[in-house]
């Protein structure tokens, strides 16, 4: 369980590279600065790709949870 509450959830289950990153970017556009986006992914590549996306774009990766083959990321919009 994550310690943060999300303002919006994006489920990319079943999708593969590069779709989780592209959809995350789009979903963040709809949020206000400081709001939290929850991204659910089943793509093992996103484990490294989502942190790289955050590092590059300046959004803060607040928390990552791995459970039952799913990767859940909490991203705070910059």
Partner 1 sequence: MASERLAIIATKGTLDWAYPPLILASTAASLGVETAIFFTFYGLNIIHKQKMKQLKVAPVGNPGMPMAFPPSVKKTPVAGQLAGLMEAIFPGPPQLMGVIPGMTDFMTAMMKKMMKENGVATVEELLELCKDAGVKLIPCQMTMELFGYKYEDLIDGLEPPGGAATFINYVLEADKPMIIFV
Residues of this chain that interact with partner 1 (CB under 8 A) are 14-19, 21-22, 25-26, 43, 52-53, 56-57
The rounded distance, in Å, linking the Cα atoms of 69 and 78 is 28
On whether the CB atoms of residues 46 and 21 are closer than 8 A, the answer is: yes
Q: In what order do the strands lie in the sheet with 70-76?
A: 8-11, 36-41, 70-76, 60-67
CB of residue 50 to partner 1, shortest distance in Å: 11
54 is catalytic: no
CB of residue 69 to partner 1, shortest distance in Å: 14
Which residue number, 34 or 78, has a Cβ lying nearer to partner 1? 78
CB of residue 4 to partner 1, shortest distance in Å: 23
- Tokens representing 76 are 């705070």
């Amino acid at each position: 369980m994550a310690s943060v509450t999300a303002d919006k959830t994006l489920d990319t289950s079943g999708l593969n590279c590069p779709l989780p990153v592209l959809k995350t970017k789009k979903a963040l556009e709809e949020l206000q600065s400081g709001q939290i986006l929850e991204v659910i992914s089943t793509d093992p590549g996103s484990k490294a790709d989502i942190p790289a996306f955050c590092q590059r774009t300046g959004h803060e990766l607040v928390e990552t949870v791995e459970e039952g083959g799913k990767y859940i990321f909490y991203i705070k919009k910059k």
